[in-house]
Amino acid sequence: MQIKVLTPQSEEEWDKYLLVNKYAGFLQSFCWAQLLRIAYGFKPVFLEVQNEDNPVAYMLFHEGFSYRRSKKIAYRLLSPLRRFFTKYMVSSGGPVILDESRTEEIFSSLLEWLNKYVKENHVRSIQLTPFSYNESYTDNPSIEKIFGSFGYSSKRWATYLVDLKQDEEKLWYYIKHSARKSLNQVMKMNLMVKKAENYEEYIEKFLLPYNQMEKEFGRAEIPLWYVEKLEDSDLKDKYYHYFYAEMDGNIAGVLGMYVYNGYAGEIMSSTSQYAYDNKIYAQDLLHWEMFKFAKKLGCHTFDLAGVNPNPQTDKERGIKQFKEKWGGEYREYSMYDLDFGGNAFFNTSKKAYQILENALVR
């Protein structure tokens, strides 16, 4: 098989290849490539896999590096060193396969090509999460063996996929009793779920409250300057939707969603201390309203995002319990990692760089 590097200049030029496959997800799209490029400076690598000059698969990789949300001058000055010491390749949700009879050959060819690429471009590690929507792929032991033969370690992860093709009555019926109980309770309150309809509303009602909520629980915020970098991208508004739950002038929770090729997936979920203190189940109502909105957009599946199949902490157990109550299909898949390390001189230099960065950027 041959691997061809493509240089698409538009969404139509790349995504037309993906959308012939019903399992193609947003993380292989041109929009996602552009957002990572603008926000983090990642370099997209678009690949076409050919067999006797006929396309059999497409895959999007990103060449990235360690990133911090910092505008300090020291961070900018250290950028060349950071790129050198922390460069990695990452890809999720691919490849998009056109000829399923050649799945194993396609993976072998892609991993062989990737081995050559990382050596030529001094990449230090690879993080790959292949497709999660096609069960015949996610549970294929042959694919696991292929990754193992190339030296990758694997980790199982999981999600819940809610079927939006069923009508609203059945959707309500198949969620667990605990979800219906909390929804019935919160629906009696003066809690309103609204969609941010413009940039100003997104900042005021979604992003700033989200940052405050994350700060309350000691988690990382998203700086305004970071969001402003993406504001000129026409593609993001086509696929992203942001909702907030408001009660008596207080934002109780926020939840975002992307939509692509019939799939909807949640992003940027957070709940306020106000909601916890007053037992306002904002995320329950946000999820329910988002399911209905995704249905109106024509989505057939809602992806509740990743959960640990074997929760190790109370937080992970709580996340898994929350997501399983929505009646979705449980789906496990593998995540693969390969760390190349370096020689003694490189490893010593990297440690020195990390000490320098920590001292200057904090």
Residues 18 and 120 in one domain: yes
pLDDT of residue 49: 97
- CA 284 – CA 319 distance, rounded (Å): 13
**Which phi and psi angles does 49 have, rounded to 5°?**
-95, 125
Kindly report the CA angle at 302 between 107 and 329, in degrees rounded to 5?
75
Amino acid at 295: K
Q: What is the CA radius of gyration of the chain?
A: 22
Predicted local confidence at residue 39, as pLDDT: 82
The encoded tokens of residue 360 equal 């200057």
| 213 CB burial (10 A radius; 0-12, 13-18, 19+) | buried
The 10s digit of each residue's pLDDT in 185-244 is 999 998 999 999 998 999 999 999 999 999 998 888 887 877 777 776 666 678 999 999
Q: What is the CATH number of the domain that holds 190?
A: 3.40.630.30
Handedness of CA 240, 274, 160, 295 (dihedral sign): negative
Give the CA distances from residue 310 to residues 67, 92, 129, 157, 289, in Å, rounded to whole numbers and listed in that order.
29, 21, 18, 9, 29
Q: What is the pLDDT of residue 31?
A: 93
Same domain, 258 and 151: no
CA distance 210 to 208: 5
Q: Is 218 helix (H, G, I), strand (E, B) or coil?
A: coil
**Same-domain status, 285 and 153:** no
What's the predicted TM-score (pTM) here?
0.88
Q: Considering the domain boundaries, does residue 312 fall inside one?
A: no
Provide the pLDDT for residue 122.
85
Amino acid letter for position 214:
E
Look at residue 65 in the predicted model and tell me its pLDDT. Answer: 74
Q: Report residues of the chain scoring pLDDT below 70.
A: 66-86, 232-236, 341-362
Pair (75, 40) in one structural domain: yes
Pair 173, 145 in one domain: no
Nearest in space to 92 (alpha carbons), one of 268, 336, 338, 320: 336
112 and 69, same structural domain?
A: yes
Range of the domain at 95: 2-157+334-361
**Which tokens hold the place of 283?**
């995320």
Same domain, 151 and 188: no
Task: Using DSSP, state whether 145 is helix, strand or coil.
Answer: helix
Distance CA 298, CA 261 (A): 9
Domain stop point among 277, 299, 321: 299
Is the CB of residue 135 less than 8 Å from the CB of residue 143?
no
Distance separating alpha carbons of residues 289 and 224, to the nearest angstrom = 27
Q: Does residue 90 form part of some domain?
A: yes
